[in-house]
Structure 1
């Protein structure tokens, strides 16, 4: 049964509430980013990465710009331990990158962790134990004081081993399962741990507040973080960190609100890959800053390549609608959206705008290595004339008159509807060629000769019913002479209403495109021609349009 009455809220409000974070408009300064892809992300994979894959992932994270990387739970397996030793023994850790290792507050695990980081130039030891009311009662069967003592004992041992090990070692503590923990109790444990470590501003400790299981709205989490931020001991010597998960789908909001509330550091993963519904997606967080005009200090200028490498290493697939990185996030199928985007892109070009401001597209796809021609507008049966015209112009340089573009839109959507599929740019181009350029069901012109003696005269050689026929005409100009010859020979009457031409390239050898619209008995008929010779293109267009008349 779908029984909502079996559930109740499981979060705790801080003893005092303040909403100073609400007064801040947006995240303007990049927090310290810590990638946990190699640990938290990896443990969520059905097939965890092997050593070689982890080393590749580490290098990918370094290339993106992460300065803190949680690389392993070294006591968990030999692969985790060996990753640490490989990185350290082969001097693979850049000078400006700090690795992090995680350990439960258990003696043998802590000792194994310090064995793993022996010789590391710089490292963060991340200590945690679970503090929630449910886990205290159901799992550990311990009192608050007993749970706090686990954290304190772990902190003492971590400090002792760090002094014995030497090197530049930083400490981090997380009250795991924080969302189900009384806020003032979590704060008490964190301050008790800090009393052991006694951090100084020149060598800060990290207090990390995780949404291990997201169970409240983002503003609740922000209020909890603000309370801890304002009441944390040694505050000037502590980096307040957050580690959002995404069980309610609010991981990004938790992170952004948490930073507004006082957090200076965010742990997460690329694409949000993590336990259950995942960790917070650091790409989304960074790109949200970027889209507001602030430097996220991470480089996603080749996001497609990053995604492909990540998918290969983790054997996962990034969803096509994943913010910023999915295949379809910059794509419009809707006709009205396509029309607005097409006009917006044209406006941007014509006005040579520096600032990005295009309807329906929050950031420039080119900034992420995406392609306007293949990513921004794609065509199916829901698309409109604006999008189809944009595809032809951006891919092939073909600019259609408004009414012709409208007719082309209906033709293309019909093809998509009948085939029940999205059409590629090439398929759209072929629809254009088949219906407007290579359209000679009744006759075609195989040759023409002009002779100007006062007025323009033309001799046309037609191919009709597999026979060549020579006809003549005259007019005020070349195209007028061709049109008059066709009307006289076939005994038809139409008006040449629209004639447009343009080059398909910038060189002198570029082909030209001509579009012609003729009216007959209240209806428009369209044709197009493509040729290096603009007159040949124009004759092609006229002949294709005349072939469409319902008189043959």
Structure 2
């Protein structure tokens, strides 16, 4: 069966930058945009031009710098917003305006003090006005997750009739369960006239920790684009994590889906965004956290050393990480200790390993992690690093040889 391509819409520079304390300057935004283009994202949401002069300038400079990727600018369903977005995009080779309005009862009543009929009128006008500036217009139905499906379908059908090329279905507050969100996408695919002429997009927030799961459910039910951010950053609890959804698609061939992302650039892109924004990636973050491919349990270490796949479903090299890490702690076993000593140039026989292990446990019970310096100190304490060693030529799996000390 032929695989279907899922487009990756990256909103790190817009939704991601809304994280308090993570504001970027124009130079940083351009650097990240260039990296995102190398990564292979299909769309870069460069900013919200009317929000500030710096954001306007940043969108403009990204348009000048990016050559292949679609550059998108956000606006509300307001004439001035759309006009400013269009002007900011004038240098883009492939421009897109992303405009929309809230469609849930909560937004209609409390945010806009309006009626469903007037919301549809505003949606239609926003799309028609945006078409004056660009051909590619994406419409977002804000708070679609809490919008009744029948009304949402009516909104979508009207904006498609008036020129929308992409329809975005945001779960703005992270409200939906995966089954609910998937069913919503399926309902639209089956009930909106003209829906197959446009790209249907997911935009899921992580308030309940379900952003990635909801996006996955969305594409399994017919969505063709995922809106996401590097490291899952974004408003409140964040957005769908680009690295997570991309690797889920890559690792699960039975989904018959693929993206154009060069996954070997994921880790370096994650580090770039983290550094520019001054926002550390949590250690246990899937795919890009420092512990994602680290092993400290003796049982896990023994398995990974025998065959990596025993405790890793992803090859770290596929995301740009050289190799897995064996971390020595009080939970580590003899296999891991022998492995780390071999890397330092020491091959321990059984008696030596037993002696070293007993001393190692004394150190490990007092420290969170044992370093190479401490491993050498343990040899000294065991009187095994006194120069009375035999050297042999050791050849590793890659065919490279070096002399190691046999203790």
Deviations 1:179-225 (A, max 9, x none): 1211111111111111222x6xxxxx101111111113111111111
Deviations 1:299-346 (A, max 9, x none): 23244432332122111111111111011111111111111112225x
2:393 equivalent among 494, 503, 510: 503
- Equivalent-residue separation in structure 2 for 1:272 and 1:178 (angstroms): 20
Which residue does 2:369 correspond to in 1? 422
Go from structure 1 to structure 2 and tell me whether the alpha carbon gap of 1:343 and 1:410 turns closer, same or farther (over 3 Å shift). Answer: farther
Find the residue that maps to 2:279 and give its secondary structure.
coil
Which residue does 1:280 correspond to in 2? 240
Deviations 1:252-283 (A, max 9, x none): 11111110100001111001010011010011
Q: Is the aligned partner of 1:236 residue 2:196?
A: yes
Asked whether the equivalents of residues 345 and 404 of structure 2 are also in contact (C-alpha less than 8 Å), the reply is no
Go from structure 1 to structure 2 and tell me whether the alpha carbon gap of 1:391 and 1:369 turns closer, same or farther (over 3 Å shift). Answer: farther
Which residue does 1:32 correspond to in 2? 7
Which residue does 1:354 correspond to in 2? none
- Equivalent-residue separation in structure 2 for 1:508 and 1:173 (angstroms): 57
The RMSD of aligned alpha carbons is 2.7
Find the residue that maps to 1:69 and give its secondary structure.
strand
1:70 equivalent among 23, 41, 45: 45
Find the residue that maps to 2:181 and give its secondary structure.
helix
Using structure 1 for the length normalisation, give the TM-score. Answer: 0.68
Asked whether the equivalents of residues 401 and 500 of structure 1 are also in contact (C-alpha less than 8 Å), the reply is no
- Equivalent-residue separation in structure 2 for 1:45 and 1:297 (angstroms): 31
Asked whether the equivalents of residues 75 and 100 of structure 2 are also in contact (C-alpha less than 8 Å), the reply is yes
1:388 equivalent among 313, 321, 337: 337
Which residue does 1:262 correspond to in 2? 222
Higher relative contact order at CA 8 Å, sep ≥6: structure 1 or structure 2? 2
Structure 1, 74-83 or 105-114: larger mean CA deviation? 105-114
Which residue does 2:177 correspond to in 1? 217
Find the residue that maps to 1:66 and give its secondary structure.
coil
- Equivalent-residue separation in structure 2 for 1:338 and 1:207 (angstroms): 47
Which residue does 1:412 correspond to in 2? 360
Which residue does 1:364 correspond to in 2? 315
Find the residue that maps to 1:513 and give its secondary structure.
strand
Shift of 1:178: 0.9
Which residue does 1:321 correspond to in 2? 284
Deviations 1:159-190 (A, max 9, x none): 3x23xxxxx62011111011121111111111
Which residue does 2:66 correspond to in 1? 93
- Equivalent-residue separation in structure 2 for 1:403 and 1:335 (angstroms): 19
- Equivalent-residue separation in structure 2 for 1:510 and 1:138 (angstroms): 72
Structure 1, 121-130 or 286-295: larger mean CA deviation? 286-295
Asked whether the equivalents of residues 346 and 404 of structure 2 are also in contact (C-alpha less than 8 Å), the reply is no
Deviations 1:360-406 (A, max 9, x none): 1122223333344xx4210111211122122123x135343345434
Find the residue that maps to 1:379 and give its secondary structure.
coil
Asked whether the equivalents of residues 194 and 234 of structure 1 are also in contact (C-alpha less than 8 Å), the reply is yes
- Equivalent-residue separation in structure 1 for 2:402 and 2:186 (angstroms): 64
- Equivalent-residue separation in structure 2 for 1:92 and 1:508 (angstroms): 43
- Equivalent-residue separation in structure 1 for 2:111 and 2:332 (angstroms): 56
- Equivalent-residue separation in structure 1 for 2:301 and 2:401 (angstroms): 32
Shift of 1:87: 3.5
Which residue does 1:521 correspond to in 2? none
Find the residue that maps to 1:253 and give its secondary structure.
helix
Which residue does 2:82 correspond to in 1? 110
Where structure 2 has 5 or more consecutive residues not aligned to the other structure, the ranges are none
Which residue does 2:348 correspond to in 1? 400
Query: What are the within-5 Å matches in structure 2 for residues 45-56 of structure 1?
Result: 45-56=20-31
- Equivalent-residue separation in structure 2 for 1:192 and 1:97 (angstroms): 28
2:19 equivalent among 44, 47, 68: 44
- Equivalent-residue separation in structure 2 for 1:424 and 1:295 (angstroms): 41
- Equivalent-residue separation in structure 2 for 1:509 and 1:63 (angstroms): 37
Asked whether the equivalents of residues 126 and 173 of structure 1 are also in contact (C-alpha less than 8 Å), the reply is yes
Which residue does 1:513 correspond to in 2? 405
Find the residue that maps to 2:15 and give its secondary structure.
helix
Deviations 1:37-73 (A, max 9, x none): 1111112242411111111111111111112111111
Which residue does 1:196 correspond to in 2? 162
2:385 equivalent among 438, 449, 463: 438
Using structure 2 for the length normalisation, give the TM-score. Answer: 0.91
Shift of 1:298: 1.1
Find the residue that maps to 2:216 and give its secondary structure.
helix
Query: What are the within-5 Å matches in structure 2 for residues 86-235 of structure 1?
Result: 86-88=61-63, 91-94=64-67, 96-159=68-131, 161-162=132-133, 169-197=135-163, 205-235=165-195
Where structure 1 has 5 or more consecutive residues not aligned to the other structure, the ranges are 1-23, 163-167, 200-204, 346-357, 446-498, 515-527, 529-552
Aligned length, in residue pairs: 402
Larger-gyration structure (1/2): 1
- Equivalent-residue separation in structure 2 for 1:510 and 1:391 (angstroms): 16
Go from structure 1 to structure 2 and tell me whether the alpha carbon gap of 1:508 and 1:158 turns closer, same or farther (over 3 Å shift). Answer: closer
Query: What are the within-5 Å matches in structure 2 for residues 285-296 of structure 1?
Result: 285-292=245-252, 296=259
Find the residue that maps to 2:14 and give its secondary structure.
helix
Shift of 1:512: 4.5
Shift of 1:233: 1.9
